[in-house]
């Protein structure tokens, strides 16, 4: 997806491939991509300098109606032919600018990620942050949901789900995945293999580097497709295209894909374990002679992640539903600790390869509902704070964290149990995000206010179906 195209190259590409439309795309504040299209004849090199205008007041979390005019500035390096539109269309990812000052918009998630990369270089610590996310998702056959004054419900369904073992399917062939037994079964139990393979093929056709795909632990079509690590901004761009491809391939086959972290009760949720490493001058900085083959810089980086974990989750786990997955006592990495191999710690050191180039930190807390530009930036800023202030991560936790005696378990911090609590922690611990003007005070305040009003309060105001089960006869 990332290439070395200049504006002139893009204009020539449009002519050479007889492209009919240009689709300008950018990310709104919560993390959903937006777009508009223009005929290809309108594309000139000047657009890459002057931009195109749009109404910023109609984008979630952005401008007020009295200052709505904004500019999209396309990035020629992101030029990709759309794999789904019937009429040949070229995708261009964009940055957002103020039309008066021509400065980059501080609430533009892609701008935040670019500032994070620039800040990393300015510190002299490293010149590259590699990010490798492992996003999980569900593929359902049907989804229904509704909420009004007197009714509220949701329902999802999948042909491979265990709850359909007794359904008349004319005939029911019985290959249903039991709860928590969906990891690596062969077809016919793994009913989505060909669908995932098509998703991967489309990704590769669009220039994404895919490492593997497989069924995940939960019943009902849980899946994982892993992208090969890349630079922070590039990976956020790629993950955005990745989600677009997964949703549209599923839709093409009459199915629906969701990155909602906990759509099922009683089975695994969808996480996004995120691998991070720092490099300088082409050399890895996280390999050394300390614990698990790590360098001192890597241990300090982990120290930063652990110190700021309570605030970090406001970006890496940014929905009320995220905290249905982050529940103590289950498999989710809620414990603020680090360990080699131990998957119950929020920071894990993968031990698959002895190569120094493979040495990295796996931050296991995030889920795929996050805005990747902002989540990756926040992770990097926390780790850099650890290095800059030489934050000691303490002793590693190599025991099974779920089998610890109560007195030991009580000494291990856990991530916040709700989005409301995570936002409170972000209010109190935000200084590390403000360095280098990566996140501005306005950007952080807007994020906190938007999440509180539009999500936390909106959910809290509505009765929950299970409350009728618990309390109707009280």
Question: How far, CA to CA in Å, does 465 sit from each of 148, 155, 236?
Answer: 13, 12, 36
Active-site residue, from 364, 367, 385, 455: 364
From the candidates 343, 413, 462, 464, which is the catalytic residue?
A: 343
Q: Is 253 a catalytic residue?
A: no
Q: Which of 369, 339, 379 is nearest to 129 (CA)?
A: 379
Count CB atoms within 10 A of the CB of residue 455. 18
Bridge partner list, 279: 128, 284
CB environment 117-147: b (16+ within 10 A), e (fewer): bebbeeeebbebbbbbbbbbbbbbbebeeee
Using CA atoms, how far apart are residues 247 and 243, in angstroms rounded to an integer? 6
224 is catalytic: yes
Phi, psi of 27 (to 5 degrees): -100, 130
The one catalytic residue among 75, 82, 117, 136: 136
Among 82, 160, 190, 216, the one annotated catalytic: 216
Catalytic residue chosen out of the listed positions 75, 117, 160, 224? 224
For residue 216, indicate whether it is catalytic: yes
CA angle 449, 453, 458 (to 5 degrees): 155
343 is a catalytic site residue: yes
Q: In angstroms, rounded to a whole number, what is the distance separating the alpha carbons of residues 5 and 76?
A: 6
Q: Which of 42, 44, 55, 211 is catalytic?
A: 55
CB 31 within 8 A of CB 369: yes
* Residue among 362, 367, 385, 455 flagged as catalytic: 362
Instruction: Quote the DSSP letter at residue 57.
Output: G
Which of 75, 134, 385, 455 does the annotation list as catalytic? Answer: 134
Q: Could you please report the per-residue DSSP string of 325-378?
A: HS-TTSSS--EEEEEES-TTEEEEE--S---GGG--EEE----TTS-HHHHHHH
φ and ψ of 254, to 5 deg: 75, 25
Determine the Cα–Cα distance for residues 235 and 382; give it in Å rounded to an integer: 18
Pairing of strands 52-55, 69-74: antiparallel
Q: Are strands 89-97 and 21-27 parallel, antiparallel or unpaired?
A: parallel
Q: Give catalytic status of residue 44 as yes or no.
A: no
Alpha helices in 178-325 (DSSP H): 193-205, 232-252, 296-307, 309-316, 322-325
CA–CA separation, 227 vs 136, rounded Å? 12
Q: Which of 77, 215, 273, 275 is catalytic?
A: 273
- Mark whether 348 is an active-site residue: no
CA dist 344 and 332 (Å) reads 7
Q: Is 179 a catalytic residue?
A: no
Give the up-direction half-sphere exposure of residue 387: CA atoms within 13 A in the CB hemisphere. 19
Tally of CB atoms within 10 A around 422: 28
Task: Give catalytic status of residue 55 as yes or no.
Answer: yes
Residues 6+ apart with CB under 8 A from 97: 51, 70, 71, 72, 73, 103, 104, 105
Q: Is 169 a catalytic residue?
A: no
Residues marked active site are found at 55, 134, 136, 216, 224, 273, 343, 362, 364
């Amino acid at each position: 997806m990332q290439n070395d195209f200049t504006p002139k190259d893009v204009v020539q590409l449009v002519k050479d491939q007889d492209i009919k439309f240009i689709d300008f795309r950018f990310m709104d504040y919560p993390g959903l991509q937006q777009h508009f299209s223009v005929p290809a004849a309108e594309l000139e090199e000047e657009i890459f300098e002057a931009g195109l205008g749009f109404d910023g007041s109609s984008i979630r979390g952005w401008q007020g109606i009295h200052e709505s005019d904004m500019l999209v500035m396309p990035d020629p390096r992101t030029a990709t032919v759309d794999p789904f539109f019937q009429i040949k269309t070229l995708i261009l990812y964009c940055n957002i600018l103020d039309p008066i000052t021509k400065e980059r918009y501080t609430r533009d998630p892609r701008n935040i990620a670019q500032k994070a990369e620039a800040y990393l270089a300015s510190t002299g610590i490293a010149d590259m942050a590699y990010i490798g996310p492992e996003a999980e998702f569900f593929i359902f056959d049907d989804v229904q949901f509704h909420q009004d004054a007197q009714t509220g419900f949701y329902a999802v369904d999948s042909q491979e789900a265990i709850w359909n073992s007794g359904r008349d399917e004319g005939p029911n062939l019985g290959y249903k995945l039991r709860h928590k037994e969906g990891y690596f079964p062969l077809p016919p139990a793994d009913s989505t293999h060909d669908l995932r393979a098509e998703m991967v093929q489309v990704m590769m056709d669009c220039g994404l580097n895919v490492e593997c795909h497989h069924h995940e632990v939960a019943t009902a079509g849980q899946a994982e497709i892993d992208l090969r690590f890349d630079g922070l901004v590039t990976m956020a761009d790629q993950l955005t295209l990745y989600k677009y491809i997964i949703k549209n391939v599923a839709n093409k086959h009459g199915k629906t894909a969701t990155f909602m972290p906990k759509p099922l009760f009683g089975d695994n949720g969808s996480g996004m374990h995120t691998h991070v490493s720092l490099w300088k001058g082409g050399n890895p900085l996280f390999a050394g002679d300390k614990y698990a083959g790590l360098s001192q810089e890597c241990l300090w980086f982990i120290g930063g992640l652990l110190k700021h974990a309570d605030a970090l989750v406001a970006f890496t786990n940014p929905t009320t539903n995220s905290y249905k997955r982050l529940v103590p006592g289950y498999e989710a990495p809620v414990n603020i600790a680090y360990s080699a191999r131990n998957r119950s710690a929020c920071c894990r050191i993968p031990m698959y390869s002895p190569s120094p180039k493979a040495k990295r930190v796996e931050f296991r807390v995030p889920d795929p509902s996050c805005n990747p530009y902002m989540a990756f930036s926040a992770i990097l800023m926390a780790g850099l704070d650890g290095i800059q202030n030489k934050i000691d991560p303490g002793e590693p936790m190599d025991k099974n964290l779920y089998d610890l005696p109560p007195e030991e378990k009580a000494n291990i911090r856990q991530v916040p149990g709700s989005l409301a609590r995570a936002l409170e922690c972000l209010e109190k611990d935000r200084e590390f995000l403000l360095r280098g003007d990566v996140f501005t005070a306005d950007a952080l305040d807007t994020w906190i206010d938007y999440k509180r009003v539009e999500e936390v309060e909106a959910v809290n105001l509505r009765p929950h179906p299970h409350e009728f089960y618990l309390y109707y006869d009280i």
